């Protein structure tokens, strides 16, 4: 058996993972694997809804006093290992890595073997196959015109999306005459604040809220681009914790800087231009012709949005498909 064929234990923590991460775990799991969820029991069925085989065992472990107690995690791992399988421990995200490292240093290192941080996938997700009628229907549901330009402002989890920064860039290009709208998850932070700001600045409804933003494959074939930001996790971690954490929850700066690349990969899989913050690690996809970057300079983001709205970035879609 090669390393790529070895069984794995997928370890995911609800503090930093959204539907994109769960879908990846479900899609990449195979017979002999197991899943440990540091999070709600409901995520077991969520994984199954994304196609996880019922043959892959899932253990869900809730918090006690706002934390996953190392002895409980070690006991859960011992139970999972009780079937005799030797599995590589694959950790999805730096916060999960922090919790697993804490478990390994509290008197039970032998019970918590070393882990491997899941890297950016080398393969793009499968492109959703839609007929034109479905695309037109979804655009009508979103209130979009046939030719309107709209981008998904995405994060995984969606709670880490803070509209305060991106709304400033959007207002800059709307004042300049470019037309672009955002679709965001209702879980994103500061939606009402951003809407009020844009109403004052450009006198227009530029933000569309739709729960399908949490599952990009359900929307992207009807949209025109994807934007992946990290601003909320860095600048407003408590505002962006959503339902996930108690008041003390906040990722460290290093953790918040490692935003999931999965929404961006879904955009590339759908053949859409992607604007991603410089800190988002896209692995082997970093040189993809549909990828553009921006940093903490709002003017640079505004230039990218303006190019998208005016069709400059959209031309690369045609070039990449030829």
Query: What is the rounded distance in angstroms from the CA atom of residue 42 to the CA atom of residue 208?
Result: 28
Choose among 308, 28, 33: nearest CA to 174: 308
Query: What is the rounded distance in angstroms from the CA atom of residue 292 to the CA atom of residue 284?
Result: 15
For residue 31, the SS3 value is coil
Query: What is the rounded distance in angstroms from the CA atom of residue 280 to the CA atom of residue 153?
Result: 14
Query: What is the rounded distance in angstroms from the CA atom of residue 255 to the CA atom of residue 274?
Result: 22
Q: Is the pTM of this model over 0.75?
A: yes
CA angle 313, 266, 37 (to 5 degrees): 150
So what's the pLDDT on residue 310? 80
Q: What share of the chain is helix, strand, coil (3-state, %, to 5)?
A: 45, 15, 40
For residue 41, the SS3 value is coil
So what's the pLDDT on residue 89? 92
So what's the pLDDT on residue 5? 64
Question: How far is CA 114 from each of CA 1, 10, 89, 137, rounded to the nearest angstrom?
Answer: 20, 13, 7, 48
So what's the pLDDT on residue 198? 92
Question: Tens-digit pLDDT profile for the chain (322 aa)?
Answer: 344 568 999 999 988 899 999 999 999 999 999 999 998 899 999 999 999 999 999 999 988 877 778 888 888 888 888 777 778 999 998 888 888 877 766 544 444 557 899 999 999 999 998 988 999 999 999 998 877 899 999 999 888 888 888 899 999 999 888 889 999 999 998 899 999 999 998 887 789 999 999 999 999 999 999 999 866 555 555 566 655 555 444 556 556 557 899 999 999 999 999 999 888 999 999 999 999 998 888 899 999 999 988 876 644 443 444 3
The string of DSSP codes covering 208-264 is EE-GGGGSGGGTGGGSSEEEE--HHHHH-TTGGGTTS--TT----HHHHTS---HHH
Containing H/E element for 94?
helix 94-104
So what's the pLDDT on residue 321? 40
Query: What is the rounded distance in angstroms from the CA atom of residue 217 to the CA atom of residue 189?
Result: 22
Question: How far is CA 269 from each of CA 105, 229, 321, rounded to the nearest angstrom?
Answer: 40, 18, 12
Question: How far is CA 240 from each of CA 32, 138, 177, rounded to the nearest angstrom?
Answer: 36, 28, 31
Q: Are strands 34-38 and 8-13 parallel, antiparallel or unpaired?
A: parallel
């Amino acid at each position: 058996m090669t390393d790529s064929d070895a069984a794995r234990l997928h370890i995911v923590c609800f503090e930093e993972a959204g539907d994109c991460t769960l879908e990846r775990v479900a899609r990449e799991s195979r017979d002999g694997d197991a899943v440990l969820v540091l999070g709600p029991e409901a995520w077991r069925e969520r994984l199954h809804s994304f196609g996880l085989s019922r043959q892959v065992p899932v253990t869900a472990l809730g918090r006690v006093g706002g934390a996953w107690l190392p002895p409980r995690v070690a006991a859960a791992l011992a139970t999972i290992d009780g079937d005799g399988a030797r599995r590589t421990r694959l950790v999805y995200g730096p916060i999960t890595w922090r919790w697993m490292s804490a478990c390994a240093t509290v008197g039970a290192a032998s019970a918590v073997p070393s882990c491997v941080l899941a890297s950016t996938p080398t393969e793009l997700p499968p492109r959703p196959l839609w007929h034109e009628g479905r695309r037109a229907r979804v655009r009508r549901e979103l209130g979009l015109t046939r030719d309107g330009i709209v981008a998904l402002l995405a994060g995984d989890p969606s709670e880490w999306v803070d509209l305060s920064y991106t709304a400033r860039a959007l207002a800059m290009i709307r004042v300049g005459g470019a037309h672009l709208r955002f679709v965001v998850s209702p879980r994103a932070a500061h939606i009402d604040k951003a809407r009020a700001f844009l109403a004052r600045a450009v006198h227009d409804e530029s933000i569309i809220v739709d729960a399908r933003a949490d599952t990009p494959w359900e929307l992207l074939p009807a949209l025109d681009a994807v934007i992946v930001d990290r601003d909320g996790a860095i600048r407003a971690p408590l505002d962006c914790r959503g339902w996930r954490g108690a008041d003390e929850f906040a990722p460290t700066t290093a953790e918040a800087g490692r935003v999931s690349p999965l929404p961006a990969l879904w955009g590339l899989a759908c053949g859409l231009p992607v604007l991603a913050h410089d800190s988002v690690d896209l692995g082997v996809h970093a040189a993809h012709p549909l990828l553009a970057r921006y940093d903490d300079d709002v003017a640079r983001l505004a230039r990218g949005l303006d190019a998208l709205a005016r069709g400059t970035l959209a031309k690369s879609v045609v070039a990449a498909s030829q």
